[in-house]
Amino acid sequence: MNIQNPPAAMFHRIARLCRERLVQNALALYGVMFANALLPLVLIPYVARVLGPGPWGRVLFAQTAAIWLGLLVEYGFTYSATREVARHADDPEKVRQIVTEVMAGRMGLCLLAILFALVLWWSVPEFRAGGHILMVGTCWLGLAQGLSPLWYFQGMERMRLPAVLEVACRVLYVVAVFIWVRSPADAPMVLVYQAAGLSCSLLITLAIMYRQTGAGLGTLSGAWRSLREAWRFFLFAALVNVYTRANSFFLGLLAAPAAVSFYGGPERMMRGILSLTGPVNQVLYPRLAWLVKHDLPAARTTVRQGTLLVAVVGTGLGLVLTLGADWWVWWLLGPGYDAAVPVLRVLGLVCPLAAVNSVMGIRWMFPLGLDRTYNRIVMVGAALNVGLVFLLVPTLQAEGAAWAVLAAEGFIALTAFILLWRQGLNPFQKSQLPEAPVAS
């Protein structure tokens, strides 16, 4: 390489950088991120106008229920299994054992999720009002979300092919909605098309994972061991969903379906645009899991840089939503959604807090062995969210649910920051970190 030629030197540096696995995974995840962020922004204006506040609110309510079903099947393996695969990526036999035990545990959880879906069908009037197709779509979507094997590819740092498949299937889902959803009567089919798209990606990635690992059917003892090891992560994921995604479900129980759309629409916008920070977080987790075990000072530097990056990005995104709330609601949702404007203004303030929490909590405290401590913080935050929802929704409706989320995120961020500082584990402190991770 001719060092006297700056453009050529820069080109070679960029080419060398792009061959790094970490960069390749980040680029793959950014492809998924753009699909997650942009495709809903394309779909929301159409669905909001075609279905109207009431039917769309019922779809959002069902999608939230599907998230809970998927959470039950996923059971925290996204964190526990990703960490274990990352730690043993150079041991094929150990990886095969991990995959076998995790999938055996998930099969049992699928049966439990189906039973839970039947209970929802008989106990929640919104599901019965939506008809059998709504219930089938909800159950199918929940199982497709929960069975995703992306934890394996993330742990092995091989995200390119799964990322391409996920983006392609999401595009198919959006195209299907545009073609076949034409009136409020078609509302339940939104869930069916979403579940069908996810299932295409699911079947292909499962086949690849089993071919690469040679995993078997597993045993009851292995399934139980995987469930026991992932329990704390499942508890954490459940608590996080209480204050990040469950408010649409609570609104469906406490208010009319239209109120769900007034909150769910802005919430989808906020989560979609917040996903711009997702690839950084997803790439950081397996890398920090390894660094905490082998090079703690480097882990400190990495998490500090990651926190600063997502804080800046999250603040910028939040300002875009808060200051432009009127325009966003008018453009994406259309007439009849004026009540969503104050909701979006509040949710824009959530962006920087949620972005920082994802790094300082999951990507830093989990690898350090402080998952139990962080679970306790999140548990109090989730309880605060639920209490405020039931207190504020009767008077403020959808806006009350948004204030509840903001209060919960703020409490979690402040508490985690103070706790890490007191233990000498805050990455922004000048004092040296302990030589070994501190277990809770």
pLDDT tens figures, 274-304: 777 666 666 666 666 667 666 777 777 777 7
Count of beta carbons in the 10 Å neighbourhood of residue 93 = 10
| Percent of the residues in the chain that have a pLDDT greater than 70, as a whole number | 83
Q: Which residue has the tokens 């948004």?
A: 402
Out of 222-231, 275-284, 420-429, give the one with best mean pLDDT: 222-231
pLDDT at position 411 over 90: yes
Using one digit for the tens of pLDDT, what is the confidence trace for 142-151?
899 889 898 8
Cβ atoms of 359 and 281 closer than 8 Å: yes
Report whether 275 contacts 351 (CB < 8 A): no
The separation between CA 378 and the C-alpha centre of its own chain, rounded to angstroms, equals 16
Q: What is the pLDDT of residues 305-364, one digit of tens each?
A: 777 777 888 888 889 999 999 999 988 888 889 999 999 999 999 988 888 887 777 777
Q: 179 vs 185, 187, 413, CA distance in Å?
A: 14, 13, 43
The DSSP code for 56 is: H
102 or 134, which is more confident: 102
Distance CA 214, CA 417 (A): 43
Confidence of residue 18 (pLDDT cuts 50, 70, 90): very low
Q: How far apart are CA 376 and CA 401, in angstroms?
A: 22
Mean pLDDT, the chain, integer: 81
Q: Which two tokens stand for residue 120?
A: 């929802």
pLDDT tens column, 181-195: 999 989 889 989 999
Rg (CA), the chain: 22
**What pLDDT score does 17 carry?**
45
Q: Which of 55, 332, 46 is nearest to 184 (CA)?
A: 55
How does pLDDT run across 39-67, given as a tens digit for each residue? 777 888 899 899 988 888 888 888 888 88
| pTM attached to this predicted model | 0.69
Confidence class for position 208, pLDDT limits 50, 70, 90: very high
Q: Residue 78: what pLDDT?
A: 82
Question: CA–CA separation, 417 vs 419, rounded Å?
Answer: 6
Q: Take residue 274 and report the two structure tokens written for it.
A: 């917040």
Instruction: Find which of 32-41, 142-151, 225-234 is predicted with most confidence, using mean pLDDT.
Output: 142-151
pLDDT over 70 at 8, yes or no = no
Q: Which DSSP letter does residue 434 get?
A: P
**Identity of residue 47:** V
- Residue range 194-204: average pLDDT? 91
Instruction: Check if the beta carbon of residue 164 is closer than 8 Å to that of residue 204.
Output: no
pLDDT of residue 195: 92
Compare 308 and 101 and report the one with higher pLDDT.
Answer: 101
Tokens found for residue 95: 């990886």
How high is the pLDDT of residue 110? 92
Q: What is the DSSP letter of 432?
A: P
Average pLDDT of span 114-143: 82
pLDDT tops 60 at residue 77: yes
| Model pLDDT, residue 36 | 62
CA 345/CA 380 separation, integer angstroms: 25
Q: Which position has the higher pLDDT, 438 or 249? A: 249
Q: What is the mean pLDDT of residues 95-104?
A: 91
Gap between the Cα atoms of 380 and 328, Å rounded: 32
Which tokens hold the place of 255?
């208010």
Q: How confident is the model at residue 32 (pLDDT cuts 50, 70, 90)?
A: low
Handedness of CA 390, 391, 396, 400 (dihedral sign): negative
Rounded to whole angstroms, the Cα distance separating 297 from 295 reads 6
User: pLDDT, tens digit, for every residue of 240-281?
Assistant: 777 677 788 888 878 888 888 899 889 888 887 777 766 666
Q: Would you state the pLDDT for residue 259? A: 87
User: 3-class secondary structure for 149-161?
Assistant: CHHHHHHCCCCHH
pLDDT at 392 over 80: yes
* 430/204: higher pLDDT: 204
Give the per-residue pLDDT at 10.
Answer: 44
Instruction: Return the closest-CA partner of residue 346 out of 274, 270, 415.
Output: 270
Q: How confident is the model over 396-410, as pLDDT tens digits?
A: 999 999 999 999 999
